[in-house]
């Protein structure tokens, strides 16, 4: 297709900037000097994918190597997909506009389950057979990483290689192995066998799953000497690990349009519903000097006038005070706004507090997740009502009039009492506001509460738990609504059909591959977008494949049942998860990693919070 | 840059002046930002060859040549800075813009007949969202077809700004044909038809 023609097609769709490339800091290389071409695919729109930090890190790191050219690919939106299919434009990479069908690797990052149909759609748009078994040596290798890989069994038929854990090291080891194999006549099967020997590499085709008559897993066995369990990789030394000096700076507005600086990985807290809190263990921090330096470089190379700090819980960063002191110096001078997350500021100096006061604050938000202290103990979320009320009070005194709270519904052991607690907490905030003599004059308060449906996830203490049924959810929603009596509280409860599907795929096994393919063929894609999600089609797909989705999501699993992900090792042991599950049912909290080690198993890497002096 | 809207272009410039460390004047107050202003927004899908950007430098020792060199060093190949000088005219003295329309197929007779009309009535959407009939003939200063290239000079600026897209859609409607085309804005003029500086 000639340039003119292509441009005209681009101009016929919404937001052509999604597909045009050519942004500041995008990497162009001379093809003739490249050994390995890697298509880094984010199975969602440009605006979402471009906001993702992991992609930026790997993009820069791959491209730092002279022999690799890594390019970006996003899922085309419906309008452009139609144009592509009509004009036979195969899925291309933004930098070179070359078809990714001719690349060495097609790599996906799997951030949420609801993107799986987009993975299939992108493979199809690329002109590549969907199933790993149908792709011979003439096709690119299809690989995937990201948090969903901790149970990506539903995608096992489609992906050649999964990378477990953090990709910085293992991805390059696999690329190097690939280069070596290419020298001596490339044989895919041989290569996969060899790759499986690298720690952190999971080749699903080398594992055989047998099922019991009741549908549960009987056994997981390996072929060709593949390891019995695959352990995730982590970067142990965060100060010396690669961090990009620049980001591609988009023309069009993306979701998080700013520089992002990582401060640590992992989370000390161990909230029992939170997958990220377990699969990224142990906590590993960067020193504040390194964070400060990297942040400054990033702002200089991108020209961004806004930077945010990234981690699962930035207020737990031990060197936050020296970091902010250092960062505020140059950000203020250069008119850069530092976006701070809500912080626990109890032990900051007066001076720093004053400085922070100048920084534009983001809204006042809390995530108590549950309405009563009992249930918060069950989920190990250590936010107390006093904390919320006292923080709100300070904020109201400072002129705030709006607060946002996030909750979940359908948590293990939840009763109506706990739901009522959600409404009561909101009411207490409203009452407190009106009882304040020094409340902002002439303004009314607004408390918005958003309640999502709980999705049990692998590698959490709640992996054994069922999700609530649709009927139960509807009943709970109606009850909660009836508990709210003031118009100052704005209650939003999401349409949860996607949560149900998410639970099925989160805890699903390989047999769901057929359902995915069938749903995809019926036209399911962009399932996380309400305007695209079509439950009807999904239900048809399940019944055509003879698969009962409730088997995966609504069943309480025994501790000794073999889970589809039990051959994957994320360094938190199943014994630990069982211990935690029992503690949850006894309404008992677990101290965070800094207070006391709970022997989850993640100390096996010899680094991180497990070895801090307590 | 064809696929960049006016808003995108503003975002791009904000970052470019930061990245190139231009000693530019920042607005004061709560939301401080680098101040600059594109004289005439360029529509998405058009190319521009003579775009005007107004900005204020706070370092007297910083030369115009340096400014152009620094911007170009950090810019992308598709956006090139040509020249910087002290403002001669005020922005509101912008009066005309010249466009080159390149047709993929030419319908010379129809095009010439269209531009020879005394009156060209079309509908324009008003700010309130309604439409009103206007005569665009007086706003077309020049229309010259040579081969498949149509040169248009249209009124520009705050009042009576005429977008070539409107001219072309009216052309297709009244003369009943359709052709693919691309648009390049080649010049911006003042009232005396001198290149705007
Ligand atoms: S081993 Fe202990 S300190 Fe380390 S992550 Fe696990 S619980 Fe936390």
Establish if A151 belongs to a structural domain. Answer: yes
pLDDT of A442 > 90? The answer is no
| Beta carbons of A99 and A118 less than 8 angstroms apart | no
H helix intervals, B6-107: 6-19, 64-74
Please tell me which residue of chain A has the smallest CA distance to B182.
Answer: A8
Crossing angle for the helix pair B6-19 and B64-74, nearest 10 degrees? 110
Q: How far away is chain B from the Cα of A599, in angstroms, using its nearest Cα? A: 47
Give residue-wise pLDDT tens across range A566-612. Answer: 999 999 999 999 999 999 999 999 999 999 999 999 999 999 999 98
Same-domain pairing of B38 and B108:
no
Same-domain pairing of B100 and B25:
no
CA-wise closest residue to B137 among B158, B156, B114 = B114
Same-domain pairing of B24 and B63:
yes
Query: pLDDT (tens digit, 0 to 9) for every residue of chain B, 197 residues total?
Result: 678 888 999 999 999 999 999 999 988 876 778 889 888 888 888 999 999 999 999 999 999 999 999 999 999 988 999 999 988 888 888 999 999 999 988 889 999 999 999 999 998 877 777 888 889 999 999 999 999 999 999 999 877 889 999 999 999 999 999 998 999 999 999 988 888 88
Domain count, chain A: 1
> Among the three residues B74, B107, B125, which one is the final residue of a domain in this structure?
B74
CA-wise closest residue to A593 among A578, A579, A605, A610 = A610
Establish if A571 belongs to a structural domain. Answer: no
Q: Please report where in the chains the tokens 């989370």 appear, as a residue.
A: A267
> Among the three residues B25, B41, B74, which one is the final residue of a domain in this structure?
B74
Provide the pLDDT for residue B197. Answer: 80
Establish if A264 belongs to a structural domain. Answer: no
The contacts of residue A549 (CB under 8 Å, 6+ apart) are A500, A501, A504, A542
Establish if A454 belongs to a structural domain. Answer: no
Length of chain B: 197
pLDDT of A361 > 60? The answer is no
Question: How much is the average pLDDT of A406-428?
Answer: 96
Please tell me which residue of chain A has the smallest CA distance to B16.
Answer: A303
Q: Ligand 1 pocket, A600 CB below 6 A?
A: yes
Stated pTM of the model: 0.92
Q: Ligand 1 pocket, A282 CB below 6 A?
A: yes
Same-domain pairing of B61 and B111:
no
Q: Ligand 1 pocket, A281 CB below 6 A?
A: yes
With b for 16 or more beta-carbon neighbours within 10 A and e for fewer, the A239-258 pattern comes to eebebbebbbbbbbebebbb
Q: What is each CA distance from B57 to A331, B60, B67, B75, B118, in whole angstroms? A: 20, 7, 9, 18, 47
Range of the domain at A188: 3-215
Establish if A533 belongs to a structural domain. Answer: no
pLDDT of A349 > 80? The answer is no
Give me the phi and psi of A603, to 5 degrees please: -80, 0
Give residue-wise pLDDT tens across range A462-515. Answer: 999 999 999 999 999 999 999 999 999 999 997 778 999 999 999 999 999 999
Provide the pLDDT for residue B183. Answer: 94
Same-domain pairing of B120 and B147:
yes
At A526, list the tokens.
Answer: 């962009």
Question: How much is the average pLDDT of A234-256?
Answer: 91
Beta bridge partners of A231: A569
Same-domain pairing of B70 and B96:
no
pLDDT category of residue A84 using cuts at 50, 70 and 90: very high
For Cα atoms A553, A555, A561, give the angle at the middle one, nearest 5 degrees: 105
Same-domain pairing of B61 and B119:
no
CA-wise closest residue to A508 among A122, A116, A118 = A116
CA-wise closest residue to A230 among A199, A253, A259, A267 = A199
Beta bridge partners of A69: A37
B182 to A7: CB separation less than 8 angstroms, yes or no: yes
A335 has a chain B CB within 8 A of its CB: yes
B26 to A335: CB separation less than 8 angstroms, yes or no: yes
Using the Cα atoms of residue A425, residue A431, residue A434 and residue A435 in order, give the sign of their dihedral.
negative
pLDDT category of residue A521 using cuts at 50, 70 and 90: very high
Establish if A95 belongs to a structural domain. Answer: yes
Range of the domain at B20: 6-74
Same-domain pairing of B100 and B173:
yes
Provide the pLDDT for residue A359. Answer: 59
Establish if A383 belongs to a structural domain. Answer: no
Q: Ligand 1 pocket, A603 CB below 6 A?
A: yes
Q: What is each CA distance from A139 to A129, A155, A163, A240, in whole angstroms? A: 9, 18, 19, 36
A183 has a chain B CB within 8 A of its CB: no
pLDDT category of residue A421 using cuts at 50, 70 and 90: very high
CA-wise closest residue to A55 among A123, A122, A109 = A109
B17 to A303: CB separation less than 8 angstroms, yes or no: yes
User: What CATH number is attached to the domain comprising A208?
Assistant: 3.40.50.280
Atom nearest to A283 CA in ligand 1: 5
Give residue-wise pLDDT tens across range A213-243. Answer: 999 999 999 999 999 999 999 999 999 988 9
Q: Ligand 1 pocket, A573 CB below 6 A?
A: no
Give residue-wise pLDDT tens across range A27-56. Answer: 999 999 999 999 999 999 999 999 999 999
Provide the pLDDT for residue B3. Answer: 86
A252 has a chain B CB within 8 A of its CB: yes
Of A17, A301, A305, the CB nearest to B4: A17
For Cα atoms A280, A284, A289, give the angle at the middle one, nearest 5 degrees: 140
User: What CATH number is attached to the domain comprising B126?
Assistant: 3.30.70
Establish if B108 belongs to a structural domain. Answer: yes
Establish if A478 belongs to a structural domain. Answer: no
Give me the phi and psi of B178, to 5 degrees please: -150, 135
pLDDT of A358 > 80? The answer is no
Residue with CA at minimum distance from ligand 1 atom 8 = A593
User: From CA A282, how far away is CA A287, in angstroms rounded?
Assistant: 16
At A458, list the tokens.
Answer: 């692998």
What mean pLDDT is reported for chain A? 93
pLDDT of A338 > 90? The answer is no
Same-domain pairing of B115 and B162:
yes
Using the Cα atoms of residue A79, residue A81, residue A82 and residue A84 in order, give the sign of their dihedral.
positive
> Among the three residues B74, B100, B126, which one is the final residue of a domain in this structure?
B74
Give residue-wise pLDDT tens across range A362-403. Answer: 567 888 999 999 999 999 998 889 988 888 888 788 778 888
B33 to A252: CB separation less than 8 angstroms, yes or no: no
Establish if B30 belongs to a structural domain. Answer: yes
Residue to test with chain A: of B5, B6, B17, B18, most A Cβ within 10 A? B18
Domain count, chain B: 2
Same-domain pairing of B97 and B62:
no
Using the Cα atoms of residue A569, residue A575, residue A578 and residue A579 in order, give the sign of their dihedral.
negative
Please tell me which residue of chain B has the smallest CA distance to A23.
Answer: B76
């Amino acid at each position: 297709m000639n340039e003119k023609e292509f441009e005209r097609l681009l101009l016929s769709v919404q937001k052509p900037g999604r597909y045009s490339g050519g942004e500041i800091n995008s990497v162009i290389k001379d093809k003739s000097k490249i050994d390995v071409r890697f298509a880094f695919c984010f199975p969602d729109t440009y605006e979402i994918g471009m906001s993702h930090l992991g992609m930026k890190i790997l993009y820069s790191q791959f491209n730092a190597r002279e022999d690799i050219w890594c390019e970006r690919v996003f899922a085309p939106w419906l309008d452009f997909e139609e144009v592509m299919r009509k004009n036979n434009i195969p899925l291309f990479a933004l930098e070179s506009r070359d078809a990714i069908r001719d690349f060495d690797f097609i790599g996906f990052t799997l951030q949420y389950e609801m993107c799986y149909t987009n993975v299939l759609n992108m493979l199809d748009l690329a002109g590549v057979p969907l199933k790993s078994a149908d792709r011979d040596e003439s096709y690119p290798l299809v690989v995937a990483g990201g948090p969903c890989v901790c149970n990506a069994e539903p995608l096992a038929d489609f992906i050649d290689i999964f990378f477990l854990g953090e990709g910085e090291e293992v991805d390059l080891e696999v690329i190097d192995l690939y280069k070596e194999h290419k020298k001596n006549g490339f044989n895919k099967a041989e290569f996969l066998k060899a790759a499986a020997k690298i720690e952190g590499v999971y080749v699903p085709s080398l594992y055989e799953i047998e099922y019991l008559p009741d549908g549960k897993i009987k056994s997981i066995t390996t072929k060709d000497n593949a390891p019995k369990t695959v352990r995730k990789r982590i970067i142990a030394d965060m100060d010396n690990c690669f961090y990009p000096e620049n980001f591609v700076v988009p023309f069009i507005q993306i979701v998080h349009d700013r520089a992002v600086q990582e401060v640590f990985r992992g989370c000390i807290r161990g909230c029992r519903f939170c997958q990220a809190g377990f699969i990224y263990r142990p906590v590993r921090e960067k020193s504040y000097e390194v964070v400060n330096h990297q942040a400054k470089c990033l702002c200089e190379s991108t020209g961004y006038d806004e930077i945010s700090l990234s981690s699962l819980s930035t207020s737990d960063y031990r060197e936050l005070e020296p970091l902010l002191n250092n960062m505020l110096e140059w950000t203020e001078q250069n008119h850069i706004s530092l976006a701070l997350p809500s912080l626990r500021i109890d032990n900051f100096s007066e001076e720093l507090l004053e400085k922070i006061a100048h920084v534009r604050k983001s809204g006042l938000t809390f995530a108590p997740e549950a309405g009563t202290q009992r249930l918060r103990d069950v989920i190990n979320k250590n936010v107390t009502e006093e904390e919320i009320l006292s923080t709100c009070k300070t904020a109201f005194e400072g002129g705030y009039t709006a607060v946002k709270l996030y909750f979940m519904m359908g948590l293990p052991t939840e009763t109506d009492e706990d739901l009522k607690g959600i409404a009561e907490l909101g009411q207490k905030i409203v009452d407190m506001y009106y009882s304040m003599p020094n409340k902002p004059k002439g303004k009314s308060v607004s408390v918005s509460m958003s309640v999502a449906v709980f999705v049990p996830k692998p590698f959490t203490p709640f992996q054994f738990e069922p999700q609530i049924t649709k009927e139960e959810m509807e009943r709970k929603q109606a009850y909660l609504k009836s508990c709210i009596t003031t118009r100052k509280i704005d209650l939003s409860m999401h349409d949860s059909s996607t949560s149900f599907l998410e639970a099925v795929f989160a805890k699903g096994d390989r047999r769901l591959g057929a359902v995915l393919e069938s749903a995809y063929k019926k036209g399911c894609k962009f399932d996380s977008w309400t305007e695209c999600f079509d439950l009807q089609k999904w239900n048809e797909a399940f019944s055509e494949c003879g698969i009962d989705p409730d088997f995966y999501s609504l069943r309480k699993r025994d501790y000794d049942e073999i889970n589809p992900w039990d051959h994957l090792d994320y360094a938190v042991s199943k014994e630990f998860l069982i211990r935690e599950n029992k503690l949850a049912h006894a309404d008992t909290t677990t101290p965070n990693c800094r207070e006391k080690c709970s022997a989850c198993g993640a100390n096996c890497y010899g680094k991180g919070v497990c070895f801090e002096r307590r | 840059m064809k696929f960049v809207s006016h808003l995108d272009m503003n975002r791009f410039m904000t970052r470019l002046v930061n990245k190139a460390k231009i000693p530019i004047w920042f607005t004061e107050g709560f939301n401080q930002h680098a101040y600059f202003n594109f004289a005439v927004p360029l529509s998405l899908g058009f190319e521009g060859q003579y775009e005007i950007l107004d900005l204020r430098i706070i370092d007297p020792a910083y030369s115009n040549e340096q400014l152009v060199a620094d911007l170009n060093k950090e810019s992308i190949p598709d956006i090139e800075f040509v020249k910087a000088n002290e403002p001669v005219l005020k922005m509101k003295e912008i009066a005309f813009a010249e466009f080159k329309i390149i047709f993929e197929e030419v319908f010379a007779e129809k095009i010439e007949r269209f531009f020879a009309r005394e009156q060209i009535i079309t509908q324009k959407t008003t700010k309130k969202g309604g439409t009103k009939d206007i005569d665009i003939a007086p706003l077309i200063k020049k229309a010259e077809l040579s081969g498949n290239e149509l040169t248009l000079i249209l009124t520009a600026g705050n009042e009576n700004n005429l977008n070539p897209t409107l001219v072309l859609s009216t052309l297709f409607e009244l003369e009943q044909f359709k052709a693919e085309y691309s648009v390049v804005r080649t010049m911006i003029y003042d009232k005396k038809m001198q290149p705007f500086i």
